[in-house]
């Protein structure tokens, strides 16, 4: 994001203006009370709900009094809902936040949004840092913009667990890394921990800034706080548009190994004392260090899976499971590829290529399946994950002639609206691949999903 936009950091940009009803389940208490999609819940038991947390908190009994606005005639009508024990109210809202999203007040050196291509979609540049989304959706937040009242609300309502970015513990390092509000984040975090809130923490590790002695100090601090039940260390990622960084752990195997060595005593102590690993490294460190990813038990049930912690291990273990439990289906895929004279390629980012190749070899021992790793030229730098593949790179790097190919695209490269990060549509990409002679499908990047998608595609 350009420097001149930094004035926006502290603003709250409303996304929605109220608790608008998206759907009502037929026969539910909300349906019986006459609530319909398009209406707005103005108050619950006399309280104007700010978000889904207020709604759940206020409407947790057997009855609730609502005021509902109907935009068709501009009226606001009171109604009372009643339900049986365990019954849902039957109403869904258009958003989980009814008063807009809280944006961040930080200026993190490593903020990915400062490294986006100038033409990146506006929605990518929204710097959300809303504690409510930490509880409701698992977003990582810094807590630097949380007021005393909000901290109190988190504790009182038991908004636990929370996902919190720590990054560093020494005040000067924190300030240099995330900006002048850094102290506030730790102040609030201490308060939440004292109030019994469980925290999953994260450190974005930047070479030469918060690694080495600072990382050890941060881990020491976290180790002394049992409320932090998991702490994940992820490496700085940078793009070619970064004006600050041009190297990270992916470029330095020895530095990655050093991080692996530094965290091991913390993991060992946690296992001895608590039976869990607690301190974990993202997959990128093991890939960069040319080390095998640790076994599944290291990941404590994968509490930070979507932060890239344990995805490779989970994929490899699932591939072994599929090989054991569905050998017939695997053989059928290879047989059908042969019958149809097709070769198969699984598309992914460079970081996952070696791991996905393990499954490609299981899919076709006869060598009909391969992996196509797409280099990320759009972002450049060390960006190599599957979720950030863009259409421009995909279409430039896949062969012009795809006759006889079955191409499997990763679902994660598309957003909810089936758009890529550079704004192309899934439909257009599939059309283009078919124009080049390929059969193309989209699948979740997991052995089971691959297998199911391929069996379906090859059955016709
Ligand atoms: S990394 Fe997150 S918290 Fe830091 S400036 Fe960017 S959006 Fe804000």
Report whether 8 contacts 44 (CB < 8 A). no
Cα–Cα nearest to 378, from 438, 424, 443, 312: 424
Q: How confident is the model at residue 127 (pLDDT cuts 50, 70, 90)?
A: confident
Full DSSP string of 317-337: HHHHHHHHH-HHHHHHHHHHH
> Ligand 1 centroid vs 177 CA: distance in angstroms?
10
Using the mean position of ligand 1's atoms as its centre, give its distance from the Cα of residue 116 in Å: 13
pLDDT tens digits along 34-82: 999 999 999 999 999 999 999 999 999 999 999 999 999 999 999 999 9
- Expressed in angstroms and rounded, the spacing between residue 280 Cα and the centre of ligand 1 is 22
**Separation in Å, CA 351 to CA 246, 282, 312, 382:** 18, 12, 10, 10
**223 burial type by CB count under 10 A (0-12 exposed, 13-18 middle, 19+ buried):** middle
> What SS3 state is found at 174?
helix
Q: Whose CA is nearest to atom 7 of ligand 1?
A: 127
CA of 269 to the centre of ligand 1 (A): 32
Dihedral Cα 36, 40, 42, 43, nearest 10 deg = 50
Looking at CATH, the fold of the domain delimited by 19-93 is given as Pdz3 Domain (2.30.42)
Nearest alpha-carbon partner for 164 in 176, 174, 149: 174
43 has which bridge partners? 67
Phi-psi region of 205 (alpha: psi -120 to 50; beta: other; left: phi over 0): beta
Round to whole Å and give the CA distance between 18 and 37: 13
Pocket perturbation via mutation, ligand 1, pick of 116, 142, 237 by most ligand atoms within 8 A of CB? 142
Q: Please write the tens of the pLDDT for every residue from 324-354.
A: 999 999 999 999 999 999 999 999 999 999 9
Tell me, using a 6 A CB cutoff, whether residue 104 lines ligand 1. Answer: yes
| Dist. CA 282 → ligand 1 center (Å) | 19
Which ligand 1 atom is the nearest neighbour of the CA of 106? 5
* Nearest-angstrom CA–CA distance, 316 and 446: 9
* Across 254-258, average pLDDT: 97
Cα of 110 to ligand 1 centre, how many Å? 8
Question: Residue 32: its pLDDT value, please?
Answer: 95
CATH architecture of the domain with residue range 129-308: Alpha-Beta Horseshoe (3.80)
Q: Whose CA is nearest to atom 4 of ligand 1?
A: 108
Question: 106 CB less than 6 Å from ligand 1?
Answer: yes
Ligand 1 nearest-atom number relative to CA 114: 6
Q: Do 315 and 359 form a contact (C-beta atoms < 8 A)?
A: yes
Smallest CA-to-CA distance from 238 within 333, 96, 376 is with: 376
Residues sharing a CB contact under 8 Å with residue 332, sequence separation 6 or more, in sequence order: 455, 458
- Which atom of ligand 1 sits closest to the CA of residue 142? 3
pLDDT of amino acid 3: 26
Write down the pLDDT at residue 12: 40
Q: Whose CA is nearest to atom 6 of ligand 1?
A: 111
Residue 164 near residue 232 (C-beta atoms within 8 A) = no
Q: Where are the domains of the chain?
A: 19-93, 129-308, 316-458
Any atom of ligand 1 within 6 Å of the Cβ of 113: yes
* Omega before 275 within 30 of 0, i.e. cis: no
* Nearest of 44, 48, 46, 39 to residue 60 by alpha carbon: 44
Cα–ligand 1 centroid distance for 107 (angstroms) = 6
Tell me, which fold does domain 316-458 have in CATH?
Rossmann fold (3.40.50)
pTM: 0.89
| Residue 128 CA, closest ligand 1 atom number | 7
Token readout for 65 is 């009094």
Mutate to test the pocket of ligand 1, among 2, 11, 129 (most ligand atoms within 8 A of CB): 129
Contact 118, 4 (CB under 8 A): no
pLDDT, tens digit, 9 for 90 and up, residues 417-428: 899 988 899 999
Q: Is the CB of 108 under 6 A from ligand 1?
A: yes
Nearest to 52 by CA among 166, 135, 168: 135
Ligand 1 within 6 A of 111 CB? Answer: yes
Q: Do residues 383 and 239 touch, judged by C-beta distance below 8 A? A: yes
Q: How confident is the model at residue 16 (pLDDT cuts 50, 70, 90)?
A: low
Q: Which of 114, 178, 188, 209 to mutate to test the pocket of ligand 1 (most atoms within 8 A of CB)?
A: 178
By mean pLDDT, which of 10-19, 162-171, 256-265 is the weakest?
10-19
CA of 165 to the centre of ligand 1 (A): 10
Give the separation between CA 259 and CA 263, rounded to whole angstroms: 6
d(CA 259, CA 291): 12
| Whole-number Å distance between alpha carbons of 455 and 442 | 13
Q: Tell me if 115 CB under 6 Å of ligand 1.
A: no
């Amino acid at each position: 994001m350009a420097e001149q936009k930094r004035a926006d950091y502290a603003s709250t940009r409303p996304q929605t203006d109220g608790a608008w009803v998206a759907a009502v389940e037929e026969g539910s208490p909300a349906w019986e009370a006459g609530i319909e999609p398009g209406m707005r819940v103005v108050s619950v038991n006399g309280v104007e709900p700010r978000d889904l947390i207020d709604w759940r908190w206020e409407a947790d009994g057997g009855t609730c009094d609502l005021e509902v606005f109907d935009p068709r005639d501009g009226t606001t009508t009171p109604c009372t809902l009643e339900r049986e024990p365990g019954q849902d109210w039957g109403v869904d809202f258009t958003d989980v936040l009814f008063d807009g999203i809280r944006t961040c007040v930080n200026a993190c050196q490593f903020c990915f949004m400062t490294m986006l291509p100038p033409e990146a979609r506006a929605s990518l540049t929204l710097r959300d840092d809303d504690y409510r989304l930490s509880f409701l959706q698992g977003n990582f937040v810094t807590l630097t913009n949380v007021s005393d009242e909000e901290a109190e609300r988190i504790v009182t309502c038991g908004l636990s667990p929370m996902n919190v970015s720590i990054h560093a513990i020494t005040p000067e390092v924190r300030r240099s890394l995330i900006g002048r509000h850094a102290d506030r984040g730790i102040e609030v975090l201490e308060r939440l921990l004292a109030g019994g809130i469980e925290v999953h923490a994260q450190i974005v590790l930047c070479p030469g800034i918060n690694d080495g002695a600072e990382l050890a100090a941060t881990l020491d601090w976290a180790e002394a706080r049992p409320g932090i039940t998991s702490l994940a260390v992820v490496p700085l990622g940078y793009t070619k548009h970064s004006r600050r960084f041009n190297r990270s752990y992916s470029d330095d195997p020895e530095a990655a190994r050093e991080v692996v060595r530094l965290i091991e005593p913390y993991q060992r102590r946690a296992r001895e004392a608590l039976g869990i690993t607690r301190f974990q490294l993202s997959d990128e460190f093991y890939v960069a260090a040319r080390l095998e990813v640790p076994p599944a038990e290291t990941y404590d049930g994968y509490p930070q899976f979507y932060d890239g912690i344990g995805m490779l291990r989970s994929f490899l273990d699932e591939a072994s499971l599929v090989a054991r439990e569905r050998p017939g289906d695997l053989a059928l895929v290879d047989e059908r590829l042969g019958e149809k004279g097709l070769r198969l390629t699984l598309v992914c980012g460079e970081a996952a290529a070696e791991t996905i190749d393990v499954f490609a070899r299981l899919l076709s021992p006869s060598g009909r399946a391969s992996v196509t790793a797409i280099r990320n030229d759009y972002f450049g730098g060390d960006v190599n994950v599957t979720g950030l593949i863009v259409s421009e790179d995909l279409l430039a790097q896949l062969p012009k002639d795809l006759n006889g190919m079955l191409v499997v695209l990763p679902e994660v490269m598309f957003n909810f609206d089936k758009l890529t990060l550079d704004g192309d549509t899934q439909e257009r990409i599939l059309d283009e691949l078919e124009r080049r002679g390929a059969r193309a499908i989209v699948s979740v990047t997991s052995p089971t999903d691959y297998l199911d998608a391929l069996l379906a595609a090859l059955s016709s």
